[in-house]
Amino acid sequence: MKKVAVVGYAQHKILPNAGALNEVELIMPVVHKVFNDLGISQDDIGFTCSGSCDYLQGAAFAFVEGLSAIQTSPPIKESHVEMDAAWALYESMLKIKMGDADTALIYGFGKSSPGNLDSIISLQMDPYYISPLWPDRVSLAALQAQILLQQKIITHDEMMATVIEARNNAANNPNALLTDHVSEDLYQADSLISSPLRGFDCPPISDGASAMVIASEDKAFEFTDNPIWIEGIDHSIESSNLGSRDLATSPTIQNAITNLNLKNINFDVAELHTQFSHEVPFLRKLLNLTNVPTNLSGGPLVGNVMMCAGLDAIGKTFQSLVRDQSDHGIAHASSGPCLQHNMVVHLERHK
């Protein structure tokens, strides 16, 4: 089976409200940036795959509009997942492994500002029993936070420390949306949205887009001296029925640890698609990352582009390994309420 490497990544500056910019105007600059960085064009791309959600824009086939940002003459091999673009990366990787392409362009985009994200995300739930109750995304996350706190798997202090650290780390990330520091006093004074989650524990409404290029082992070195190999990638989903899940653990993360043989790897860096502060200490413990620098970009707490933040975690890990010339990185992408669907990616720089 062919090995696959990440060779380039670009991120749009995360905006609270992209205003007049439509999806084409968000996507095109990042696609051009990643192409320019590598000195390539769409002609060098064998497969193109994107991730987005029609409902964010309030238009069926919003991604078809987005495709106008890409060169499609002659017709291209292209596909789309209604998921975070991390899964578009997954699909692209399969295409390379099967030999259908040597290179792939992946992009994700999302504008949460036009609609009401709380209402929109409620429609992810069981349409007969749960959705009519309009449970909002913060309340659903709070259910898991409460369980983790009560079972002493995490503490309030860890949540606070996560928020403070995320804001500090935002200084490393030129595209971060929230860069103001948060003090302990400020955090404590913040009002609760859904107990135990305060405003600071939640991600900001964000608009943006990102693009990535991956390549097979035959092609990777043509594009860069620093390919970062996808050493392992695994994802799986849990039940939709919150009542039947044990929210104090994550069987899907456990699956990934086993399937990717992660136990004995010393990671240098981790980027987790953790939208709420309690998810950071929770996943760090599960993944044995307590001593690993995590979310040096600030993570979703300082900028959370829906349908893109998972791809961003992989992209930021890629950038860290290239920049620091370190060896092992771990990235995580997630989907669904209370971390229902998780993907774990092991990235490696070969010496």
Partner 1 sequence: MIQAGVIGVGQTNYDSKRRDVSMAGLVREAIDKAMLAADIEWDAVDAVVLGKAPDMFEGVIMPELYLADAIGAVGKPVLRVHTAGSVGGSTAVIAASHVCSGQFKTVLTVTFEKQSESNATWALSPRYPYSPHINAGAGGYFAPFIREYIRRYEPPEHIGWKVAAKDRQNALKNPLAHLQIPGIDEKMVSETPMLWEPLRYLESCPSSDGACAMVITSEDRVGSRNVAWIRGMAVRSEGTLSAGRDEVNPQGGIDCAKDIYQQAGIHNPRTEIDCAEIYVPFSWYEPMWLENLGFCDLGQGWKLTDEGVTALDGSLPVNMSGGVLSSNPIGASGMIRRSSTSGNGLGRRSSGGRCKNIYGPCLRWCSAIFCNVDCFLFQRLIGDINEHRSCNCRREGPHNGHYLKQTRKKKCFEPRNACNYL
Partner 2 sequence: MSDDQAPKDYKESFIHLEYQYTAGSATTTFLNQVKEGRLVGQSCPKCKAVYVPPRGSCPRCGIATSIEVPLTDKGCVESFTVVHIPIPGNPIVPPYVCAMIRLDEADISFLHLVQDIEIDQIRIGMRVQAVWKPKDEWTHSLENIKWFAPIDEPDVDVSTLRFKPS
The torsion of the CA quartet 205, 320, 174, 63, rounded to 10 degrees, works out to -50
- Per CB under 8 A, the segment of 16-24, 238-246, 290-298, 327-335 that binds partner 2 is 16-24
Is position 78 an interface residue for partner 1 (rule: CB under 8 A)? yes
Contact predicate 163/200, CB 8 Å: yes
Q: Is the peptide bond before 114 cis (omega within 30 degrees of 0)?
A: no
Q: Which residue, 128 or 191, has its beta carbon nearer to partner 1?
A: 128
Using CB under 8 A, which of 11, 103, 124, 226 touches partner 1? 124
Q: Is 138 or 166 the residue whose CB approaches partner 2 more closely?
A: 138
Q: Pull the structure tokens for residue 51.
A: 């991730």
User: Among residue numbers 49 through 88, which ones bind partner 2 (CB under 8 A)?
Assistant: 55, 57-58, 65, 67-73
Neighbours of 34 (CB within 10 A): 23
Q: State the virtual CA torsion across 163, 169, 170, 171 in degrees, nearest 10.
A: 140
Q: Which of partner 1, partner 2, none has residue 221 at its interface (CB below 5 to 8 Å by kind)?
A: none
Comparing CA positions, the residue from 238, 305, 301, 341 lying closest to residue 14 is 305
Spatial distance between the Cα atoms of 317 and 117, rounded to a whole number of angstroms: 27
Out of 4, 14, 28, 142, which residue is the one contacting partner 2 (CB under 8 A)?
A: 28
Q: Which does 348 bind (CB under 5 to 8 A by kind): partner 2, partner 1, none?
A: none
The interface with partner 1 within residues 224-253 (CB under 8 A) comprises: 234-241, 244, 251-252
In whole angstroms, what is the distance from residue 216 CA to residue 6 CA? 9
Query: Which CB atom, from 203 or from 298, has the smaller least distance to partner 1?
Result: 203
Tell me how many degrees the CA angle 332-273-256 measures, rounded to the nearest 5.
25
Query: Is residue 32 involved in binding partner 1 (CB under 8 A)?
Result: no
197 contacts partner 1 (rule: CB under 8 A): no
| Chosen residue from 63, 200, 267, 276 binding partner 1 by CB under 8 A | 63
Among 19, 36, 59, 174, binds partner 1 (CB under 8 A): 59
243-281 as b/e, with b when 16 or more CB fall inside 10 Å? Answer: eebebebbebbebbbeebebeebebbbbbbbbbbbbbbb
C-alpha 284/C-alpha 151 separation (Å) is 16
Closer residue to partner 1 (CB): 25 or 184: 25
> Among candidates 105, 87, 91, which has minimal Cα distance to 46?
105
User: Which residues of this protein are in contact with partner 2, per CB under 8 A?
Assistant: 18-22, 24-25, 28, 31-32, 42, 55, 57-58, 65, 67-73, 113-116, 119-120, 123, 127, 131-132
Q: Give contact residues for partner 1 (rule: CB under 8 A).
A: 1, 48, 53-55, 58-61, 63-64, 67-68, 70, 72-83, 87, 90-91, 93-95, 97-100, 120-121, 123-128, 131, 234-241, 244, 251-252, 255, 335-337, 340-341
